Amino acid sequence: MELSAFPRFLFTVFDRFTVLALFFTVFALALDFMKRRKKCQNYPPGPWGLPFVGNILQVDLSNPHLSFTKLWKKYGNVVSLQFGWRNTVILNGFETLKEALVKKSEDFADRPDFQIYQHLLKLVGEGIVFAKYGHWWREQRRFSLTTLRNFGLGKKSLDLRIIKEAGFLNKELESAKGLPFDPHFKINNATSNIICSIVFGERFEYRDEKFLEFLHIVGESFVLEGGFWGQLVNSFPCIRHLPGPHNKIFKNQHLIIRFIQEIIVEHKKSWNPDEPRDFIDAFLAEQGKVKDNPRTSFLESNLLGVVIDLFSAGSETTSTTLRWSLLFMMLHPDLQSKVHEEIDRVVGKERKPALEDREEMPYTNAVIHETQRLGNIAPISLPHQTFRDTEVMGYTIPKGTMVIPNLTSTMFDEKVWSTPHQFNPGHFLSAEGRFEKPEAFIPFSAGHRVCLGEQLAKTELFLFFTSMLQHFTFHLPENELKPKYTEAKYGITLRPLPYRLCAKLR
């Protein structure tokens, strides 16, 4: 090649490269525009998103409920966002949530696909919590509620089981001999034992290392799946195949499956279809009855999914709420004294608390409810998906849109709560001191997808909390900094940061 021709050759090569680069850039931007364009008129307002990533950089994935609340103040009760190419609508304020989740419950009853659960669902079936709205979900939810009632839910027998477990928990607290300790796994073990007794037919000792490791894995999964890495993988599925901290999510899923599988295998060795001992036995019996039905959801794999869902719904949120309750009592000794006074007057110091006492204990009941409100246990619930084209507050939301109910917006609404950012049991008391619950209090969400374990959680919260406060005074260890309840660890639930307390026998 002559030297005079070499510059022309380079120009031709770079010119072609520039044209190709420009073509692919325009193509990618056009594809992004088609993916992210609004597909209906009157779509909710929201901030302008960046190409490919949408609004992901405008939301703090470590505390999304706080970001959503800021957007609520700026754009109104219905806000549109995009995470990658996924159209998302945030619902804020009680009236908005009521219209969507209660009045138009079926319209918002579906679930979106979560990338972090796709592999899990292939192994364990859809379960209940993440099942798509339809026959499968209705069949399993109906069966689960009926079976839970058959094994004590809403009955005196289960109340007595909780009271007995509360006795074991109190012995564990007493074993600390007044020295500082972290109550996390003692409380987690106690609440987990209740759902375990219903689902597995057994409870686990507080020093059972295998079960404690299982509880640790479940708790860690709640943080990882709902936190930064879980949300990042859900927004950008390609990350799933890259190395990084997010892979801990999938490792934990396999460990949880293995633990449940071992219990099911042991059940099969001794179960009698005519005399079910627990939920697993009842499921196996039902599976045998409908084995010839091609549409049945009673599959071997789905038993794993349903059991995992029931365990998660029946243990983690209750445990987290009780940890918040002890933290608030430790930080507010004057309010703790009022609870002690009411327990002494209604229950006494010898008799064990009973669920019937709740009607005579408005202040204690108010403290528990205020714990749920300020603790904000499920700040954005679990995402929904529109089952059909619908409207809310005058805005059109197309079928298949992910919808996030921002429960934080109702729990801290200044129009509802007089001191929304303070621990104030008066929020649930009338001027005459009677317990009253504002309509905007919806910690378990509402509608078709309301928390499956709501009734169980309410019973456990009252009996465990009352039993602990009947026996102990909780206070801050000497020479330790006072924990800040304004700081918490976000995941599927909002957890208090680790803290220590002292439990002094009364």
pLDDT for the residue 146: 94
Q: How many whole angstroms separate alpha carbon 295 and alpha carbon 276?
A: 24
* pLDDT tens-digit series, residues 324-367: 999 999 999 999 999 999 999 999 998 999 999 999 999 999 99
Banded model confidence at residue 28, pLDDT cuts 50, 70, 90: very low
Q: How many whole angstroms separate alpha carbon 64 and alpha carbon 53?
A: 16
Q: Work out the average pLDDT over 15-44.
A: 60
Terminal C-alpha separation, the chain: 98
**Domains (range + CATH), the chain:** 38-505 (1.10.630.10)
Q: Is the pLDDT of residue 25 over 60?
A: no
Q: How many whole angstroms separate alpha carbon 278 and alpha carbon 199?
A: 5
What single-letter DSSP state applies at residue 50? B
Chain centre distance of CA 313: 8
Which amino acid, 490?
Y
For the chain, how big is the Rg over CA atoms in Å? 26
pLDDT for the residue 3: 47
For 62, the token pair is: 């470590």
For residue 410, count CB atoms less than 10 angstroms from its CB and return exposed for 0-12, middle for 13-18, buried for 19 or more: buried
Q: Is the pLDDT of residue 27 over 50?
A: no
For 476, the token pair is: 């801050």
Q: Is the pLDDT of residue 82 over 80?
A: yes
> Which of the listed ranges 46-55, 106-115, 310-319 does the model predict with the highest average pLDDT?
106-115
Q: Work out the average pLDDT over 201-227.
A: 93
For residue 96, count CB atoms less than 10 angstroms from its CB and return exposed for 0-12, middle for 13-18, buried for 19 or more: buried
